[in-house]
Structures are given as C-alpha cells and as structure tokens.
Amino acid sequence: MEMENRTMVSEFILLGIPNTKGHETILFISFLAFYLCTLLGNLLILSAILADSRLHTPMYFFLCNLSVVDLGFASISTPKLLVSLWTKSRTISLGGCMSQVFFYHFLGSTEELLCTVMAFDRYVAICHPLRYLIIMNWRVCAILAAGTWVTSSFHATILTSLAFTLPYCGPNVVDYFFCDIFPVVKLACADTYIIETVSFSNNGLVPMTCFFLILMSYVRIGYSILKMNSAEGQRKAASTCASHLTVVTLFFGPCAVINTQPQLRKVVATALQISADVVTPMLNPVIYTLRNKDVKLALRKLRGGQKTAR
C-alpha cells in the first residue's frame, strides 16, 4: 500500500561530467567538434565504399557496418551532453533514458561482434588466401553481419526490459553523464539483484568472449605471417591487420580498464568512458584511411579528383 502511494519517476536528472563547473563552453566546443568530425568521417567512408565498385569486398562490407555503428554510438550520449553543457538542463525523460540504455548496449555489443567477425575475415584472408572468396562469399558475409545486429538487439532488449520493469519512485538523480544500467538501477525502489547479476555477467561475458576469439584469430594470423618466405608478403599481411588491431585496442582497452578496475576514481572512469563513446568513433575512419590506398583513392574520386588520383 505504501508503494502504491509513492509517485513514480517520469524523468531523471543526469549529474553530468564531474569537476567541470566553469568549463562548459570549452567542453561544448570540444565535444561538438568531435561529434561533427565523427559524422563527417563515417559518412565519407560509407559514401566512398558504396560509390566505388572495387571496394565491394567482404572487408569493406564489414567496415560499412562498423561506420553505421559508429554513427549511432556517437549519437547515444553526445547530443544530450551538448544540450546539457549549453543550456544547463540535465533532465531526461523516462523514455529518453530507456533509449540511451537500449542503444548503448545494442550498438556496443554490435561493435564487439563486428570486431570479432572482422578478425575472422582477416584470418581467412591471410591463412586461407586461395579459398578466401569461397569461404567469405556474400551469403556468409550477410549472415555474419545480420547475426551481429540481431544478437545484439536481443541482448539489449533483455537488459533494458529487466532494468525498466523495476519501479522507480525516487530519488531520480543519475550519478553519470548518460543513462546506463548500473547508475540507473541503483535508483530503483525494489530488489535489483537479478538485473545487476544478469547485466554484470552479460557485460563481462560478451566482451571477454569476443576478445578471446579475436586473440585466437591473431595468434593464428601471426603464426602464418612468420611462416611466409617473402618479407614483402609479411609486410603486406601485417599491414592489412594493423588498422583492425588499432580499432580493437581503442575499443576494448577503455572497457577492460573500467570493468576490471572498479576502484578507479570517478573522474578517471568518466574520462575513459567519454574516450570510448566520443573519441573512438571519430578515430575509426581516420585509422582505416591513413594507410589504405584504396579508400584514399575512392575518397579522391568521390570529390571529383580522378585526374589527381591517376
């Protein structure tokens, strides 16, 4: 009866980034620049790959999927963070909070699985080059890509449903700069043991499994590269993996530190989280284009520079 008389929460208040009072304008400009660069970079990558038929290969197909994920991932928390910094308004509706939780875990899991699939693609390309197009045919690529999106959607739906079937009757202050499961469920006026256990096991199990599979792929790739007789062949094989390894490090690195070091100071943990959410999606297009002649050529052609490219 007491629960029925209590008012249910219809919105939350995000505390934002700690220790930033007086620096809102600088942070707003910085995050806006990161966000615009992320949108521009990933849209250019998508456009270049779609426009150039020579890039219609499995590797670039998965890179297109990664660009779509990065566009969405950067848009989960950054727009709301920009609004908060500019207007000082930190409220977010219950529906908006649910959306942030869902898309954060949906796109985060999708990127983890995509990185794993891309590692498998590199494994086949280097360890089984003569059978590459047979193994990685378009049907297999479509199934792998669809599998990452569908699996992640189920994962995010379960976590979000468990989190928001709990009653929230106050307080409504989320001690973070966006809605994530652990900061939100702390505010529930009910037992949160099940959702915390499920969320912890899922958030740990999925990244660890993906990282283990990626590691196994690169152990096999490294062994195959060392067996190559040609130094030029070794250089080319290592070069094709360098970009993906860099992206994997940037994505899994902050996540591993945050999840394995709960005693981290809040400021440090928040900085790592912002790096993963805001900076990494901007860097991915740069990483994949700096040393990739095919993508740079496609980008020049896209802006009408065919003569220059020749």
Sheet with 91-93, side-by-side order of all strands = 91-93, 11-14, 173-174
Mean pLDDT, range 80-104, rounded to an integer: 90
Task: Give residue 259's Cα distance to chain centre.
Answer: 16
- For the cut 80, the answer to whether the pLDDT of residue 72 exceeds it is yes
Mean pLDDT, range 181-188, rounded to an integer: 87
Mean pLDDT, range 66-91, rounded to an integer: 90
Amino acid 264: pLDDT: 61
Q: Which fold has domain 2-303?
A: Rhopdopsin 7-helix transmembrane proteins (1.20.1070)
For the segment 241-274, what is each residue's pLDDT rounded down to a tens digit?
Answer: 888 888 888 888 777 776 666 566 667 778 888 8
Amino acid 263: pLDDT: 61
Enclosing H/E stretch for 111: helix 94-127
CB neighbourhood size of 45 (10 A):
27
For the segment 11-56, what is each residue's pLDDT rounded down to a tens digit?
Answer: 899 988 877 777 888 989 999 999 999 999 999 889 988 888 888 9
Compute the distance between CA of residue 224 and CA of residue 238 in angstroms, rounded to an integer.
11
Compute the distance between CA of residue 300 and CA of residue 308 in angstroms, rounded to an integer.
8
Amino acid 274: pLDDT: 84
- Coil, strand or helix at 147: helix
Mean pLDDT, range 147-154, rounded to an integer: 94
Q: Exposed, middle or buried: residue 31 (CB in 10 Å: 0-12, 13-18, 19+)?
A: buried
Compute the distance between CA of residue 280 and CA of residue 124 in angstroms, rounded to an integer.
26
Mean pLDDT, range 199-224, rounded to an integer: 84
The residue ranges of every structural domain in the chain are 2-303
Compute the distance between CA of residue 35 and CA of residue 70 in angstroms, rounded to an integer.
11
More confident residue, 167 or 6: 167
